[in-house]
Chain A
């Protein structure tokens, strides 16, 4: 335990901004821990990692961690990251977004980043709610969700982030939860090493804004919900069609190893410049 704690401290900024903004029971800290363990395991230098974040609770992660950090505008993190990656493909660019960030205001940027397969790792922290602004319904709030802007229950269907990323052409797509922390370490490490656009959806509880209004008495109930209602992809495949809707599959949904746009652009540039010089 002491070692784990030391590792976290090696990667956090000490000169500013603690204590953090996260509520008791929030899963965002587990994601940050998982990200730090993954970066450490893969041996990336802090100087080579750029953490780009959007707006919301997840966006605050950029302040805490000692990488090159860019806290952008709401929903636009992927566009900044695209510019950074195209400008300097040697950098490891990690994009942290919330569900409202990635799927609502930034939905267009997400599908196009996936389509052009730009070499970024997108972590979408899905807590099914707009936490920071006070618990309004988000595009991933399940039907029936009671929230500050759906006091009588959400009527709209929710987005499936994994389906969206796959349909848009991302080359690596996975889903994990903060309850399955070891698995999450594996998924993030895996994603970071893949070329092209890779996305990991991370289910993380927001008891303060979501759980309390939706029949989760304590935050532990939310973690237990993850335990009971998520299944690994191989087991999910064996479920009957009647059982499937009750469960959320977790694991790696797509792993295609396709070259990122930044690499393909570099190849094109080299080819054109060789032709000119010939």
Chain B
């Protein structure tokens, strides 16, 4: 029978399970992690799936610091590697995350946000780690932060996260929240022909010509796997183009500027967002994560009442999608920003809005989701 041969493409999955599906589709073959609610299912499913993948490795480390160290090491050895955690673990990861930024190591960190600070609300959702994802580790650094608002997006954005990590040689943070991670719904698993899988650029020149942190137009140096004949030095110290420590101002400046430039100049490739009913919208709700689903319903409710409401759903949080926000800010009379924190994205919105329109914040930090009716009320009052 023909139906028997057909590959199963639809599954009923948790957001966390969808992350694993996305990671494996993207070619992830190394996972190191430490158990923490509400991200643990990612590690559990990985531990069962990765040994079945060619050269796949799952390792449970002694803490989140070690998990980051292990995935950096594995990535340097040529693997597509990732880890997943939640708030307290994400705090521990900042040290080595900074190392990955400085040494430009491709990797993916999934942070399933729960209530904080500290141990906070381990089983309740929040969006309190948004600015930490951007600025958690010390020192100036560029980074890519993505988010997902439903289970299908968990899968898709994990693929995007790996692609960005490899393409731009950078750590990528995927921010989920407890609700998105623990929602179970039907998703379709795309086939390999449905999307592009990117691999990092490896050097094509002979080893003696290879310059490990070469200044190029693209700004993304080639990265050979350890042991491939290209012997080079990797250090968290500020380094010159050859990867050796330096404190010469002109070399330090060149490194820092190239690292920022390599993300900045591809802003339009990285800026991902969805617009719902925005063409003629007079009131725009800007949301991300689980709140975007409440917002979408609220927008439809408002449309039914004849209010021209629209939704701007952010999939990329950093670099902040300023052109998408500014375009709508010019057209609407109010931008409503509901989020489960005290205003971590709304401060970015206000910064890029710069007086263009009226920005209304809608914050909630009691471990409960922002409901459609709450957002609807704000739309009607705007």
Contact B65 A79 (CB under 8 A): yes
Chain B residues closer than 8 Å to A76, beta-carbon distance:
65-66, 69, 95-96
Contact B231 A82 (CB under 8 A): no
Chain A residues closer than 8 Å to B172, beta-carbon distance:
none
Q: Residues 221-233 of chain B: 1 if any A CB is under 8 Å from the residue's CB, otherwise 0?
A: 0000111110111
Chain A residues closer than 8 Å to B79, beta-carbon distance:
87
- Whether A90 contacts B227 in the complex (CB less than 8 A), given A82-B73, A269-B56, comes out as yes
| Minimum CB distance partner of B65 in chain A | A76
CB distance from B202 to the nearest CB of A (A): 15
Contact A79 B69 (CB under 8 A): yes
Q: Which of B41-89 contact A (CB under 8 A)?
A: 51-52, 55-57, 59, 61-63, 65-79, 81
Contact B245 A17 (CB under 8 A): yes
Q: Which of A192-248 contact B (CB under 8 A)?
A: none
Chain B residues closer than 8 Å to A16, beta-carbon distance:
242, 244
Contact B66 A72 (CB under 8 A): no
CB distance from B209 to the nearest CB of A (A): 13
CB distance from B40 to the nearest CB of A (A): 19
Contact A71 B235 (CB under 8 A): yes
Chain A residues closer than 8 Å to B234, beta-carbon distance:
69-71
Contact A91 B77 (CB under 8 A): yes
Chain B residues closer than 8 Å to A273, beta-carbon distance:
51-52
Task: Judge if B318 is at the interface, Cβ distance under 8 Å.
Answer: no
Q: How many residues of B contact A (CB 8 A)?
A: 45
Task: Judge if B90 is at the interface, Cβ distance under 8 Å.
Answer: no
Chain B residues closer than 8 Å to A81, beta-carbon distance:
73
CA A80 – CA B66 in complex, angstroms?
A: 8
Chain B residues closer than 8 Å to A272, beta-carbon distance:
51-52
CA A90 – CA B226 in complex, angstroms?
A: 11
Chain A CB count within 10 A is highest, among B59, B75, B79, B225, for B59
Chain B CB count within 10 A is highest, among A15, A69, A84, A108, for A84
Task: Judge if A26 is at the interface, Cβ distance under 8 Å.
Answer: no
Task: Judge if A9 is at the interface, Cβ distance under 8 Å.
Answer: no
Chain A residues closer than 8 Å to B319, beta-carbon distance:
none
Chain B residues closer than 8 Å to A109, beta-carbon distance:
62, 65-66, 69
Which of B65, B99, B227 contacts A91 (CB under 8 A)?
A: B227
Task: Judge if B237 is at the interface, Cβ distance under 8 Å.
Answer: yes
- Whether A84 contacts B76 in the complex (CB less than 8 A), given A47-B227, A79-B69, comes out as yes
Task: Judge if A88 is at the interface, Cβ distance under 8 Å.
Answer: yes
Q: How many residues of A contact B (CB 8 A)?
A: 42
CB distance from B54 to the nearest CB of A (A): 8
- Whether A68 contacts B236 in the complex (CB less than 8 A), given A80-B70, A83-B73, A84-B77, comes out as no
Chain A residues closer than 8 Å to B232, beta-carbon distance:
68-69
Task: Judge if B328 is at the interface, Cβ distance under 8 Å.
Answer: no
Which of B61, B226, B231, B245 contacts A79 (CB under 8 A)?
A: B61
Q: Residues 119-161 of chain A: 1 if any B CB is under 8 Å from the residue's CB, otherwise 0?
A: 0000000000000000000000000000000000000000000
Contact A88 B62 (CB under 8 A): no
Task: Judge if A180 is at the interface, Cβ distance under 8 Å.
Answer: no
- Whether A269 contacts B244 in the complex (CB less than 8 A), given A47-B231, A62-B235, comes out as no
CB distance from B69 to the nearest CB of A (A): 3
Which of B55, B56, B59, B62 contacts A108 (CB under 8 A)?
A: B62
Contact A66 B231 (CB under 8 A): yes
Chain B residues closer than 8 Å to A112, beta-carbon distance:
61-62, 66
Which of A17, A66, A71, A80 contacts B72 (CB under 8 A)?
A: A80
| Minimum CB distance partner of A50 in chain B | B226
Chain B residues closer than 8 Å to A71, beta-carbon distance:
233-237
CB distance from B244 to the nearest CB of A (A): 4
CA A71 – CA B73 in complex, angstroms?
A: 11
Contact A269 B30 (CB under 8 A): no
Contact A83 B70 (CB under 8 A): yes
Contact A108 B63 (CB under 8 A): yes
CB distance from A78 to the nearest CB of B (A): 8
CA A112 – CA B65 in complex, angstroms?
A: 13
Other A-B pairs beyond A47-B228, A73-B236, A83-B32, 13, CB < 8 Å:
A68-B227, A76-B95, A79-B65, A80-B76, A81-B73, A82-B73, A83-B69, A88-B227, A91-B226, A108-B62, A265-B59, A269-B52, A273-B51
- B contact residues vs A (CB 8 Å cutoff): 30, 32, 51-52, 55-57, 59, 61-63, 65-79, 81, 95-96, 99, 225-229, 231-237, 242, 244-245
A-B residue pairs, 8 tightest by C-beta: A83-B73, A79-B69, A83-B70, A87-B77, A71-B235, A87-B74, A80-B73, A83-B74
Q: List 26 A-B contacts (CB under 8 A).
A: A46-B231, A47-B228, A63-B244, A66-B231, A68-B227, A69-B234, A70-B73, A70-B76, A71-B235, A72-B69, A79-B65, A82-B59, A82-B61, A82-B66, A83-B72, A83-B75, A83-B77, A86-B70, A87-B30, A87-B74, A88-B78, A88-B227, A109-B66, A109-B69, A269-B51, A273-B52
